[in-house]
Amino acid sequence: MIRAVSAAETAPTTYPWAVRAEGLVVRAGRRLAVNGLNLTLGDGVHGLLGPNGAGKTTLMRALATVLKPAGGQLSLLGDDVTGRADLRRVRRALGYLPQHFGFYPRFTVREFVEYMAWLKEMPKAVIPGAVQRAVERVGLADRADSRMKTLSGGMLRRAGIAQAIVNDPQVLLLDEPTVGLDPEQRLDFRELLREIGLDSCVLVSTHLVEDVAAACTDVVLIDQGRLVWQGSAAELAERGRDGGVGDSATERGYAALLRAYRGQVSA
Ligand SMILES: Nc1ncnc2c1ncn2[C@@H]1O[C@H](COP(=O)(O)OP(=O)(O)OP(=O)(O)O)[C@@H](O)[C@H]1O
């Protein structure tokens, strides 16, 4: 049976920012891993960079509504998601690839993606077509009926990306999606990101600064749970044009911004 969808759910929403955080505080264990973060994101592909422990995964988890903020304001697609907010509407419009994700090993790729589509409350009638399309978009069509336990690390990652995009999310959160992908798959993946970023907000965390240079329109740099810098990928490269540490202009720009921020914080 197809679930009845109310007019409020299908009406076009107007919101200035897909993601808006003000003074956001999120705990990870006892630590304030995100600690007073201000961030606004619109459509496009945003690369999330920062050193180990900067708070990238914790931020992603809060944006995915998996972790509740301990303070500050967070709105997604115009809805406040702090406090006792009803998260169902927002969750239907989210896609999230966690750094580590669980699955039933005996599920096939198709069953895994179908199951996730069902959890996102997609109408039953559209699920088979949406699953097929998602599996094709990540290049796994020929393995769609293989069991998850038989996949390589890179294939598993692609199955994870397929479940994240199955509902054509308006906010897509990908935590280190390129880990385990071979060079050719990485190129295909960048193309997919560019396509999705044309009309939705994509946030991709990565340690590979080269991924950011190649696939992202914008860059968000965080350290110690706070926003250090936000700008275009071209501006980041511009910051690294005059030398410094790093193999590429983007890497040098990253290192220079981080150094300047840390100098300010400790001054
Ligand atoms: N469950 C937890 N309990 C206690 N501390 C935690 C927990 N999870 C994360 N932390 C701490 O919070 C901080 C931020 O962690 P987080 O995983 O968000 O950073 P990250 O930027 O994703 O790091 P990486 O680049 O290493 O993946 C780190 O100092 C980490 O040690």
Long-range contacts from 227-231, C-beta under 8 angstroms, 24+ separation = 227/37, 227/38, 227/39, 228/50, 228/257, 228/258, 228/261, 229/257, 229/261, 230/39
Which residue of 24, 26, 30, 31 sits with most ligand 1 atoms within 8 Å of its CB, as the best mutation to test the pocket?
31
Average pLDDT taken over every residue of the chain? 90
Residue 160, in any domain of the structure? yes
Query: How confident is the model at residue 12, as a pLDDT?
Result: 55
**What is the residue whose two structure tokens read 């598993």?**
156
Query: Which residue puts its alpha carbon closest to atom 30 of ligand 1?
Result: 53
Banded pLDDT at 32 (limits 50, 70, 90)? very high
Domain residue limits at 111: 99-168
Whether residue 114 lies inside any domain: the answer is yes
What is the per-residue pLDDT for 245? 77
Q: Is 34 in the pocket of ligand 1 (CB under 6 A)?
A: no
50, pLDDT greater than 60: yes
Q: What is the pLDDT of residue 265?
A: 76
d(CA 160, ligand 1 centre) in Å = 21
pLDDT higher than threshold 80 for residue 9: no
Measured in Å, residue 224 CA sits from the centre of ligand 1 at 10
Query: Which comes out higher in pLDDT, residue 26 or 5?
Result: 26
pLDDT of residue 242: 74
**Is the beta carbon of 31 within 6 A of some atom in ligand 1?**
yes
Q: What mean pLDDT comes out for the span 193-199?
A: 91
> Residue 115 domain-assigned?
yes
Q: What's the total number of domains in the chain?
A: 1
Q: Look at residue 161 and tell me if it is in a domain.
A: yes
- Ligand 1 neighbourhood includes 163 CB (under 6 angstroms): no
Q: Is the pLDDT of residue 13 over 70?
A: no
Q: Kindly list the distances between the CA atom of residue 250 and the CA atoms of 180, 234, 239, in Å, as whole numbers in the listed order.
A: 22, 8, 8
Per-residue confidence band for 181, with pLDDT thresholds at 50, 70 and 90:
confident
Q: Following DSSP, what letter does each residue of 122-137 receive, concatenated?
A: --GGGHHHHHHHHHHH
pLDDT reported for residue 1: 44
Sign of the torsion angle spanned by Cα atoms 16, 161, 83, 224: negative
What percent of the chain is modeled with pLDDT above 90?
71
DSSP state of 81: -
Residue 5, pLDDT > 80, answer: no
Prediction pTM value = 0.91
The vertex-235 CA angle with 233 and 236, nearest 5°, equals: 65
Q: Strand 31-41 relative to strand 19-28: parallel, antiparallel, unpaired? A: antiparallel
Which residue among 25, 49, 56, 179 has the greatest number of ligand 1 atoms within 8 angstroms of its CB, and so is best to mutate? 56
Alpha-carbon distance of 115 to 222, in angstroms, equals 34
Least confident of 101-105, 173-177, 201-205: 101-105
pLDDT at 53 over 60: yes
52, part of any domain: no
Three-class DSSP category at 46: strand
Q: Per-residue pLDDT averaged across 69-83, rounded?
A: 93
By alpha-carbon position, which residue is closest to atom 16 of ligand 1?
Answer: 55
- On whether residue 76 sits in a domain, the answer given is no
pLDDT average, residue stretch 232-239? 91
pLDDT per residue over 118-141, tens digit each?
999 999 999 999 999 999 999 999
Is residue 73 situated within a structural domain? no
Q: Which residues pair with 174 in a beta bridge?
A: 97, 204
pLDDT at residue 156 is higher than 50? yes
Confirm whether 220 is domain-assigned. no
Structural tokens at position 153? 């690390």
Whether 129 is in the pocket of ligand 1, judged by its Cβ within 6 Å, is no
Confidence of residue 8 (pLDDT cuts 50, 70, 90): very low
Cα 27 to middle of ligand 1, angstroms: 10
Statement: residue 114 has pLDDT above 70: yes
Does residue 206 have its Cβ closer than 6 Å to ligand 1? Answer: no
Residue 39 pLDDT: 97
